[in-house]
Structure 1
């Protein structure tokens, strides 16, 4: 990934910034032949990716706070309610990850289409993803409705099952809003709009906290008030982002990045192309979510306090995870834009800045935060001293895990930008289910480590995954990736026409 040297006489006008259209387009670009690179530099990439990552970090943290707030509010009631809601949150997170995985195909397709100036394809991809998500929503809603019959297969405590099942039935209402917001967010990010989602959550996240307080405590509804508050919040988020998209469409009647709904037939064609990217994306996210969340389910075998402590550390881990994940999205968008623009060396420079420079800083920062705050962070989630003590003992292990996981998350973002989610999916399955989970179960149940053993074993899988994904990214065949991307969009472009 050697950095390009700036040619003599090159000035600032020739630098290709994210979202900018070079003034020096050639006929070869129009014919689909990779264009000569317009040089950038590592400093520019670091600055631009960091700048776009900042609002995304806020967005993802605020979005994660919605589920986190249910744990905080119910944690003030009692350990039993916290355990049941934690079980419901595990199921919610694991199944909603399917929609997040589906939306990862937009991380590949939309920025690449925008970078190659095929603007109407950006809107068409968004519409297709929404249509596909509707089909996936039906079995997920049915699973939640009948969860009282499914959860006993993994949890013996009938009291926890009753609480979790009631929680999930209410959360069915949240699915449309969640799907629309997730896809709408990707659609806007591909067009350099990284702040609309943030602004929506600036309003919705505080409203969610207020609603949790009112429904759980003020109105005396108990734990069932938490899913009511969260469902209302997701619905408001979905309506808000559609309103923003509609406003910009109405304001600019010839909006470039939109496929007119009167041209509806292409929305229901070429799903195979999107699904071929979406399914590995689901595997990448789902494999990691299920690996982490399965530990919460299994922690019920160690008692209610252990389950509550596991819920606390999982919530903390989930919040800190949002920082590298958001940064990976920012890096993915920038790299995918360069892929669409056919700028080979700029792809390499953006990848190097994402993994080495930004990744190194985030790895150290997250480690210090988790280890240094181990005696203080758990108290924000539970007033039970025994639960807080158990959680504080696990946080240093999570700090080590996060150090490695940051490189895994950023490398996964690069793979999404390249359209190589399939590689990430295979590596996730191997790392978590051939290494991480077996070690976690062995250390957790066959030694005295219990919860510590869970997180230590899983950490070994994370290290394997980080090393393997970084290796694949570092040895990328960028000319081949750019060529495949051009062919992929050519199919949709011909269909749209």
Structure 2
């Protein structure tokens, strides 16, 4: 137990459902490597389910578009990737909550958890303005990147409809971080247990049964994200009025506090945004350039990109769990616990996630690709690309875990710089050279990205290795004083 922590809050967290119990700590307040590995594995499971179910929302659109036609697959794919890249802005902004909310909770500054959440939502809505403008005018922009006018039109219609999903999307993303900081990793999962199957049902009804065509998919996603946002708001309200309100910052009489001291959060959010956007935008470039090799190649690339995104949720979920855990230890101020949790992340949870992803993607590549389309030629093309994606998983897990540690430390800036270098000075440069100069087409893109990811993993792990934990803890305390 952290010195000075309110025993009532420990009771509220309920043993295994929250952070360290008294039994999990040594007499001197230090944790153990075994416990940290077990704890992060346990908390990763609901996060994995949450992210996979959330990822299935856009994957369902591609699957149902495949039942309509190849042209629709290409258009929905471009729309999906563009949605993923631009909506990742809000995931990037929410990463600052991965730093500040668990740190505040670990330090016993419970009221700050709610205030950080409210500020995160406000900042996200501000950033939504240019995103909405881009989505509304996306047909004009995408026409410079994709030659097929029909594909561009489908993607643009998709994005215009998706504008209506943003309020629910933003509130759900920030709401998850608010609850996770308190040790609640299951509420987001439970909401998606309802909304993900509902999204599939709505896709079936709108796209196939009632013949809305491809626009049935974005309509389904809008309804699903709106319900997700409303449900998490309802849960938080229930928590405030009928459960524990210690982490909530009262809005009445304190509304102006939400719009103050945004500087420290934005300083963390922008590099976090760059870390995520650099990767997402690199895959957007690959998908767009793939269109130059024909509709069939674009369809194969779309299948592989969707599967890669889907399986990325496993290490990313483990990374979020690790980030929350390490940030909690930083807030509590116990240096050895920070080191122990980092070792459990880098040498336990991360490699396990990488091995699982490699095994499923490599040995199940034909079966996975056939889920999207029955054309054997298309399946073979996609399965060949998936071999490279599977190999990338072995070292990508170290990159993803190290990024989680850097987020916990509040050192997103390092990750931001390294991501730009890895993807744009190494990965895409090598990929474009192999694709066009050496005629390897899309395969060359994926090999190049793999080289970039390897560079990124080495760089981020180096900075994690040289971490000055005392300085990191001190800066965490300064950040809370500024707020």
Which interval holds the TM-score relative to the shorter structure? over 0.9
Q: 1:79 aligns with which of 70, 82, 92?
A: 70
Q: 1:464 aligns with which of 444, 455, 463?
A: 455
Work out the CA distance in 2 between the residues paired with 1:76 and 1:384: 12
1:288-329 Cα offsets, whole Å, 9 max, x none, are 111122111110000000111001001111111000000000
Q: How does 1:271-286 map to 2 (within 5 A)?
A: 271-286=262-277
Q: Does 1:436 align with 2:427?
A: yes
Q: 1:383 aligns with which of 374, 379, 384?
A: 374
2:9 corresponds in structure 1 to none
1:142-177 Cα offsets, whole Å, 9 max, x none, are 111111111111111111111111111110011000
Work out the CA distance in 2 between the residues paired with 1:234 and 1:188: 18
Work out the CA distance in 2 between the residues paired with 1:413 and 1:100: 13
Q: Aligned-pair RMSD on alpha carbons?
A: 1.4
Quote the offset at 1:445 in angstroms: 1.1
Quote the offset at 1:385 in angstroms: 2.3
1:27 corresponds in structure 2 to none
2:246 corresponds in structure 1 to 256
Deviates more, 1:36-45 or 1:345-354: 36-45
1:29 corresponds in structure 2 to none
Work out the CA distance in 1 between the residues paired with 2:105 and 2:461: 26
Work out the CA distance in 2 between the residues paired with 1:181 and 1:417: 21
Q: 2:416 aligns with which of 425, 430, 435?
A: 425
Q: Does 1:344 align with 2:335?
A: yes
Quote the offset at 1:383 in angstroms: 2.3
Deviates more, 1:361-370 or 1:115-124: 361-370
TM normalised by structure 2 equals 0.94
1:64 corresponds in structure 2 to 55
Deviates more, 1:194-203 or 1:74-83: 74-83
Deviates more, 1:377-386 or 1:306-315: 377-386
Quote the offset at 1:77 in angstroms: 1.5
Q: Does 1:99 align with 2:67?
A: no
Q: 1:316 aligns with which of 307, 313, 335?
A: 307
Does the residue aligned with 1:375 lie in a helix, a strand or coil?
helix
Work out the CA distance in 2 between the residues paired with 1:78 and 1:192: 44
Q: Does 1:122 align with 2:113?
A: yes
2:214 corresponds in structure 1 to 223
2:30 corresponds in structure 1 to 39
Does the residue aligned with 1:336 lie in a helix, a strand or coil?
helix
Kept in 1: contact 2:423–2:452 (CA 8 A): yes
Quote the offset at 1:22 in angstroms: 6.5
Q: Which runs of 5+ in 1 are unaligned?
A: 1-15, 24-35, 493-497
1:477 corresponds in structure 2 to 468
TM normalised by structure 1 equals 0.92
2:102 corresponds in structure 1 to 111
Quote the offset at 1:88 in angstroms: 0.5
1:32-70 Cα offsets, whole Å, 9 max, x none, are xxxx96121111111000000110000000000000100
Work out the CA distance in 2 between the residues paired with 1:405 and 1:360: 9
Q: 1:361 aligns with which of 333, 336, 352?
A: 352
State how many pairs are aligned: 464
Quote the offset at 1:230 in angstroms: 0.7
Kept in 2: contact 1:115–1:339 (CA 8 A): yes
Q: Which runs of 5+ in 2 are unaligned?
A: 1-14
1:208-266 Cα offsets, whole Å, 9 max, x none, are 000001100000011110000011100000000000001111103x6110110111111
Quote the offset at 1:349 in angstroms: 0.6
